[in-house]
Structure 1
Amino acid sequence: MSRFFVSKENIGEFIKITGDDVLHIGKVLRMREGDALTVCDGDRADYECKILEITKKEVICSIVSKHENTSEPSAEIILFQGIPKGAKMELVIQKCVEIGVTRIVPFISERTVAKSLGKNERWKKIAEEAAKQSGRGIIPVVEAPVSFEHAISRLLEFDLPILAYEEEKNVYLKDVLRGKTPKKIGILIGPEGGLDAGEAELARKKGVFVVTLGKRILRTETAGMVVISNIIYEYNL
Structure 2
Amino acid sequence: MHRFFAEPGNIGEKEIIITGADVNHIRNVLRMRADEEVLIADGRGAEYRCKLTDIGENEVRVQILWKLDGNAELTSAVTLFQGLPKSDKMDFIVQKCVELGVARIVPVSTKRAVVKLDAKKEQTRLKRWNTISESAAKQSGRGVIPEVSGVMTFGKALEEAKKLDVLLIPYERAENMAETRRVMGSIQPGQSVGIFIGPEGGFEESEVEEAVAAGAQAITLGKRILRTETAGLAVMAMLGYLLEE
Assess if the C-alpha contact under 8 Å between 1:105 and 1:146 holds in 2: yes
1:174 to 149, 162, 181: 181
Assess if the C-alpha contact under 8 Å between 2:75 and 2:243 holds in 1: no
Assess if the C-alpha contact under 8 Å between 1:107 and 1:146 holds in 2: yes
1:35 corresponds in structure 2 to: 36
2:129 corresponds in structure 1 to: 123
1:24-45 per-position Cα deviation (integer Å, ceiling 9, x unaligned): 1122112111111011111211
TM superposition shift of 1:150: 1.2
- Paired with 1:186 and 1:218, the residues of 2 have a C-alpha distance of 19
Gaps of 5+ in 1: none
Assess if the C-alpha contact under 8 Å between 1:44 and 1:70 holds in 2: yes
- Paired with 1:143 and 1:69, the residues of 2 have a C-alpha distance of 27
1:150 corresponds in structure 2 to: 156
Assess if the C-alpha contact under 8 Å between 1:44 and 1:68 holds in 2: no
Assess if the C-alpha contact under 8 Å between 1:103 and 1:140 holds in 2: yes
1:77 corresponds in structure 2 to: 78
Instruction: Give the residue type in structure 1 aligned to 2:2.
Output: S
Runs (4+) of structure 1 exceeding 4 A deviation are none
2:229 corresponds in structure 1 to: 221
Instruction: Give the residue type in structure 2 aligned to 1:130.
Output: A
Assess if the C-alpha contact under 8 Å between 1:69 and 1:137 holds in 2: no
- Paired with 1:236 and 1:51, the residues of 2 have a C-alpha distance of 33
1:161 corresponds in structure 2 to: 167
Instruction: Give the residue type in structure 1 aligned to 2:10.
Output: N
1:135-188 per-position Cα deviation (integer Å, ceiling 9, x unaligned): 111111111010001112222222211001122233553231123425111100
Instruction: Give the residue type in structure 2 aligned to 1:95.
Output: K
Provide the aligned length of Structure 1 versus Structure 2.
237
2:216 corresponds in structure 1 to: 208
1:106 corresponds in structure 2 to: 107
Partner of 2:209: helix, strand, or coil? helix
- Paired with 1:7 and 1:184, the residues of 2 have a C-alpha distance of 25
1:56-106 per-position Cα deviation (integer Å, ceiling 9, x unaligned): 111111111112341111111111001111111011110000010011111
Instruction: Give the residue type in structure 2 aligned to 1:8.
Output: P
Matched-pair identity in %: 44
- Paired with 1:40 and 1:236, the residues of 2 have a C-alpha distance of 20
TM-score normalised by the chain length of structure 2: 0.92
Q: 1:63 to 1:206 in 2, by over 3 A?
A: closer
Q: 1:51 to 1:180 in 2, by over 3 A?
A: closer
Partner of 1:53: helix, strand, or coil? strand
TM superposition shift of 1:126: 0.7
Assess if the C-alpha contact under 8 Å between 2:74 and 2:243 holds in 1: no
> Map of 1:77-96 to 2, 5 A cutoff?
77-96=78-97
Gaps of 5+ in 2: none
1:189 corresponds in structure 2 to: 197
